[in-house]
Structure 1
Amino acid sequence: MSGNRSLADTNAFIYLLRKHPAVKPLIDTVWGYSFITKIELLGKPGITQKEIETVKQMLDTCFIVPHSDAINELAIELKQDYHLKIPDAIIAATALYSDIPLITADKDFTKIKELDIILIEL
């Protein structure tokens, strides 16, 4: 993957793994992820060892955005202001703090006015 950098939501990685055609235009984007996305992907109940290896290989081609107290503080604000679930607040805060767009299929993120979103149209 080469090109512009973006942070990918967990669902974006799932669509990428499933080779969903809606993700194809985003292949040239350099995908980043938050620690919470890695936990969500690898902590899925019933995940097989083969799936674990596939996810790890995919994540190895991406960059991880280091977590920080500043991201925590921003996530708290987003959770309070927009009533987000904790993982979504962390992911949105990570994108905002890093000043990179968020790739997602979750339209709930569109309510965060200050967030630059690349919406996967399914």
Structure 2
Amino acid sequence: MPVTRPQRVVLKKVLDTNAILYLLGGKLTKPLPPAQYFISVISEMELLSYPSLDEAALTQIRSFLSEVRVVELNEQVREIAIDLRRKHKLKLPDAIVAAPALSLQAQLLTNDVKLLRVPGLTGSPLELKKK
């Protein structure tokens, strides 16, 4: 009889843009837990479009982006984002950032209080270092 091994559960987490900035800026009190990490395409665009980025910061961002999966604006994500914006009066970028968490049934890591209050969205704030 073959031995069945329990399947390893891979946690899925979506990072909000502010969470990514805290991570890259060394402001988190502890490392992110092991998981499969995703970001919205809008977070990718926000990160790469800061006018004051120098080469070192751009290299750091590109390295980070190579470690996560970018969720594109497919039909399902668009519909969820539209629904979030209409029902919860979110800003469009926030709705687009949150939609992949619902689409993937993942936890959203964010310090955006408004996103943490959205019913049905599993969110968690990040603990930041004291100044």
TM-score bracket, normalised by the shorter chain, equals 0.7 to 0.9
Matched, 1:95 2:92: no
TM-score by length of 1: 0.88
Please, which runs of 5 or more residues in structure 2 have no aligned partner? 1-9
Give the whole-Å Cα distance in 1 for the aligned partners of 2:81 and 2:18.
19
Please tell me the root mean square deviation across aligned C-alpha atoms, in Å.
1.5
Matched, 1:116 2:122: yes
What letter corresponds to residue 107 of structure 2 in structure 1? Answer: P
Give 1:51's aligned residue. 57
CA contact (8 A) 1:82 1:111 kept: no
What letter corresponds to residue 16 of structure 1 in structure 2? Answer: L
Pairs within 5 Å for 1:1-122: 4-22=11-29, 24-122=30-128
Give the whole-Å Cα distance in 1 for the aligned partners of 2:27 and 2:59.
20
Deviation of 1:49 after TM superposition, in Å, equals 2.1
Deviations 1:47-85 (A, max 9, x none): 112211110001111122243111111111111111111
Please, which runs of 5 or more residues in structure 1 have no aligned partner? none
Deviation of 1:121 after TM superposition, in Å, equals 3.4
What letter corresponds to residue 14 of structure 1 in structure 2? Answer: L
TM-score by length of 2: 0.82
Deviation of 1:120 after TM superposition, in Å, equals 1.3
What letter corresponds to residue 47 of structure 1 in structure 2? Answer: L
Deviation of 1:118 after TM superposition, in Å, equals 1.6
The higher radius of gyration belongs to 2
Give the whole-Å Cα distance in 2 for the aligned partners of 1:4 and 1:42.
26
Deviation of 1:10 after TM superposition, in Å, equals 0.4
